[in-house]
Amino acid sequence: MSTAARRGQDAAYGLLGAPLAMAALPLFVQIPAYYASHVGLALAPLGWVLFGARLLDMLQDPVFGHLLDRSAQRQKRWMAMAGAVLAVAFVCLWKPPHDPQAAMLWLVAMLVLAYGAHSMLSIAYLSWASRLPEKGLRAVAWREAAGLAGVIVASVIPAAILAAEASQIDARITFYCAGFAALLGLALLVLLRQNPPPPQADGHHWKSALRGLWETPAFRTLLPPYLLNALSAAIAATLALFFIEDQLQQGRLAGLFLAAYFGAAALGLPLWGALSRRVGAVACWRYAMLLSVAGFIGAALLGPGDRLAFLAVCLATGAALGADLLLPPVLLARSVRQAQAVGVAFGILTMLGKLALALSGIALPLLAALDYRPGQGPSVSLPLVYALLPCLLKLLAWQVLGRYGRRFPDSGQA
């Protein structure tokens, strides 16, 4: 295959990352606020609905992965069906009934459909890259860059729509949903037409697939540092707005800081890809962890008005995020040799990422126990939990990779 053709294949693969990211952020951030503020649902039952839906979302990932492994020859069909369900459920989430009780039932049904379709499509999409040349390193870079672009779009446009006058929200949401559905359909069409289908795999019992994965040292080694690193990022993400508003007292610049963070991650993707080809994926990931630690140590020293210094922190930690997005899926793809276990492996990885999101909630009661109260200005405890706790988790992940990283193929050490 020529270089131009391979780049076209990689770009065709990566495009789907944008609509998947555009759906993920509203599902976890804007939809709850929309149902509380605009639909009128009570916070307590809304919280339990979200908790139950996210718990189901986490637990179903390995099941979907195994289903995809057992029917790899039909993976394109599964992806097309999941894409259609996701598009419909996403639109329906923004169009609930006016009655609050009916809206609650509507929310439950649409969240189950949307989470399930998004998970099925994401796992199939992640495992697809493992069958591309070089285990999809360049394709993964395209995917994560498109995903970061989708995150930026989803963080700006829905927030602006919901901040508009109430009479304008419905029409603008309809337009946004139509754009999302069109982009999702286009990206799926490009992917399924231009990329080769995944190879067929013989159906195996899920216990056999799990046993084979557990007997793979590199797979076992990846899980602890991946969870620790994901938890570090999730805690920082959970507390970022608290830190910006109270510790820095720069709430009006929150959008700029987030854009700098995700923009740095997108720009860093090709640099991490090039470095990983020179020093190895493990060594490259460890370098990125150290960069993130340096950034968060700097954040722990900041106070009111330190906006330029925090912008530098966002650029450093955002650049490190690029490696977090790029390298773990590549390491996983290179580690799993059994074709019938690829989907299960990626299902477990995505489940750990969602577990990290759930566990990051411990940051809020921890801050409360340390006498932090939102809206009361700078706090001694906020930098400890926002910056230093993620540093500790990053360093633990760095240490595990340093100790056991040679179990990975292409494991260069930092």
265-307 residue pLDDT tens: 888 888 998 898 888 888 999 999 999 999 999 999 998 989 9
Q: Which residue has the tokens 């019992």?
A: 205
What is the residue-level pLDDT of the chain in tens, covering all 414 positions? Answer: 566 666 777 778 888 999 998 888 777 666 776 776 678 776 567 767 777 777 777 777 777 776 776 665 677 888 899 999 999 999 999 999 988 889 889 998 998 899 889 988 888 887 776 666 555 567 777 887 888 888 888 877 776 777 667 778 888 889 999 999 999 999 999 888 865 555 555 445 556 666 767 777 778 888 899 999 999 998 888 788 788 888 998 877 877 887 788 888 888 888 998 898 888 888 999 999 999 999 999 999 998 989 999 999 999 999 999 899 888 888 887 777 665 667 677 778 878 887 887 777 677 778 778 877 777 778 888 899 999 999 999 999 999 888 876 766 655 443
pLDDT of residue 131: 63
Q: Do residues 9 and 137 make contact, with C-beta atoms less than 8 angstroms apart?
A: no
Q: How many residues does the chain have?
A: 414
Closest Cα partner for 317 from 244, 284, 268?
A: 268
Mean confidence (pLDDT) of the chain: 81
CB burial of 136-147 (b: ≥16 within 10 Å; e: otherwise) equals bbbbbbbbbbbb
Residue 15 is inside which H or E element, if any? none
Closest Cα partner for 72 from 349, 344, 268, 348?
A: 344
pLDDT of residue 1: 55
Q: What stretch(es) of the chain map to CATH 1.20.1250.20?
A: 1-203, 205-414
**Per CATH, which fold does 205-414 belong to?**
Growth Hormone; Chain: A; (1.20.1250)
pLDDT of residue 414: 38
Other Cβ atoms within 10 Å of 290 Cβ, number: 14
Residue 91 is inside which H or E element, if any? helix 75-93
What is the CATH code for 1-203? 1.20.1250.20
pLDDT of residue 29: 63
pLDDT of residue 134: 54
Q: What does the alpha-carbon distance between residue 375 and residue 89 come to, in Å, rounded to a whole number?
A: 36
Residue 193 burial (C-beta neighbours within 10 Å; 0-12, 13-18, 19+): exposed
pLDDT of residue 209: 65
Q: Token pair of 229, please?
A: 């690193």
pLDDT of residue 265: 86
Is the entire prediction scored with pTM above 0.95? no
